[in-house]
Homo-oligomer: A and B are copies of this chain.
Amino acid sequence: MYQAHPALRQPVTAADRVLQEIQRAIVDGDIAAGSKISEPELARRFDLSRAPLREALARLERCHLIERIPNAGARVVTLSTAGLLALYQLRENLEGLACKLAAEHMTDAEITEVRQLLDQHLSSQRVREGESYYQEAGDLDFHYRVILGSKNSYLINILCDELYYLVRMYRVQLGMNGPRVSRAFDEHKAIINAIANRDGELADLLMRRHIAASRRNIELQLEQMGT
């Protein structure tokens, strides 16, 4: 298997654990978007002191799930069309770059692994039709692999640590359980093929289109909710 990125490492400290719990809670909407974060309340709820909690809050701010104001506290971010657009504008560019670099730096073994992954996801998806979690996880896994394949630590950090939780939050809370499933699989296939052919330019282009399509999909959902 591939070496897990620090972002995926298992929690060793209390702050790590509570971070993961709160992260999941925010992404899944258990802690409502826009709601105020109360340190004393969360400390009681997770049964630890404020020190590790504040450490966790600092990292939540880092991945844009909360916004803090000095002496005034923190709030969960609110989702908006403008925010989604800004986020995906960036993603298109960064993941495009990641593809270009992956075409240069991924080993043949890594490429083979990703292909196996895709086949695996496809079959498990056929078996469990409709269960969107697997699509969600599978899609993320594909993107993770390509990003890691870029071998650029700064790029990896930004995409996997700082932007992806927010991306997931949009998808989960807007109920993106995927009519786009099979199309996405085909697009993934095309991207890994371009990378395998060491055609960075094409891989870049395909990834940008792939993400743009995904963005339009979510925008549509947002509009429907707005009206």
Chain A residues at the B interface, C-beta cutoff of 8 Å: 12-13, 16, 51, 54-55, 58-59, 62, 64, 70-71, 83, 86-87, 89-90, 93-94, 97, 101, 152-155, 157-158, 162-163
Alpha-carbon distance between A55 and B51 when the two chains are bound, in angstroms: 10
The quantity of this chain's copies bound in the complex is: 2
A101 to B89, CA, bound (A): 10
A90 touches B58 (CB 8 A): no
- Partner of A90 from the list B71, B87, B89, B152 (CB cut-off 8 Å) is B152
Asked if residues A90 and B154 are in contact (CB atoms below 8 Å), the reply is: yes
CB <8 Å contact, A89 and B58: no
Which of A13, A62, A154 has the largest count of B CB atoms less than 10 A from its CB? A154
Contacts of A94 in B (CB 8 A): 93-94
Asked whether A152 lies within 8 Å of B89 as measured between CB atoms, the reply is: yes
* 8 A-B interface contacts by CB (under 8 A): A54-B55, A58-B59, A64-B154, A64-B157, A86-B153, A86-B155, A89-B101, A90-B152
**A43 and B152 alpha carbons, distance in the complex (Å):** 34
B154 touches A70 (CB 8 A): no
